[in-house]
Amino acid sequence: MTRDPSADSRISAEDIRRRKGGVPIVCLTAYTYPIARLLDPHVDLLLVGDSVAMVLHGHPTTLGASLEMMIAHGQAVMRGSANACVVVDMPAGSYEASPAQALASARRIVGETGCQAVKLEGGVDMASRIAAIVTEGIPVMGHIGLQPQSVEKDGGYRIKGRTQDNIAALLSDAEAVEEAGAFSVVVEGTMEAVAARLTHHISIPTIGIGASADCDGQILVIDDMVGITVDRVPKFVKEYADLRGVIADAAARYAAEVRSRAFPGPDHVFTMASGKDET
């Protein structure tokens, strides 16, 4: 059954903004209806991240995400959640060209999903895009530090904040995102002390991933967090479960029972004696 995603019951982007310096904000990615259902009671914010391109679609980077892909998964997460603030990533190529392009893409995402906000990567270079979207009443979450959409330009996933020049650039990015009107900003793959400094430097919440416990909130990719990721797990991830093992064990037991004809058993078939018409 689809849950009623009443706007009145949801945490809003403004609610998240007001959490600066308070109880840490709990965030996770979600891409599907059942995962959204399971996570919604426990989190403040669900991010429909462009990491879906890698996690569910098998692309080597997030550059495989499209606007249509993000909207489809955003719709699923909105159907499955009722309380969390839902933010949908703007995929690479949907906002960089101009403020007008960014606004058009953001309007489409919000219009077709009903999500509470969009997220885009970039600092000083993308401030005008953030401002254009915010001016039209659409909340924006920023994303600075390691930016996965720039992996090809950067020559890989490189940790930020190792040099004074880079620290200065990060501070400028944080200031630009804040001044453009973002309600929060993800800080990814950044040296711990620098991420903490960024958090204290700006007045909007920072959401860390591979950053610092001093950030105003934390986010992880759900597949990483529950131990279902089949490729390399990043250093900053803590696995809270081992679903790889659970799934492999279940599949092995199922295969054995099918091959031995133990499944389906009497409880899993329909007979006249059962008297049941429902599946």
Binding-site residues for Mg(2+) sit at: 50, 89, 121
Q: Is 188 a catalytic residue?
A: yes
Using CB atoms within 10 A of its CB, is residue 274 exposed (0-12), middle (13-18) or buried (19+)?
exposed
Q: How far apart are CA 199 and CA 36, in angstroms?
A: 28
Residues 228, 246: Cα–Cα separation, whole Å? 9
| Alpha-carbon dihedral 57, 59, 60, 65, rounded to 10 degrees | -100
Known binding-site positions for 3-methyl-2-oxobutanoate: 50-51, 89, 119
Check 14, 136, 188, 239 and give the catalytic one.
188
C-alpha to C-alpha distance for 34 and 274, rounded to whole angstroms: 30
E-strand spans in the chain? 25-29, 45-48, 85-89, 117-119, 140-145, 184-188, 206-209, 217-220
- The span from the CA of 122 to the CA of 64, in Å, is 18
Distance (Å, whole) CA 88 – CA 116: 8
Q: How far apart are CA 125 and CA 147, in angstroms?
A: 13
| 172-175: long-range contacts, CB 8 A cutoff, minimum separation 24 | 172/123, 172/124, 173/122, 173/123, 173/124, 173/144, 174/123, 174/144, 174/198, 174/201, 174/202, 174/206, 175/201, 175/202
Q: Any idea which residues carry the catalytic annotation?
A: 188
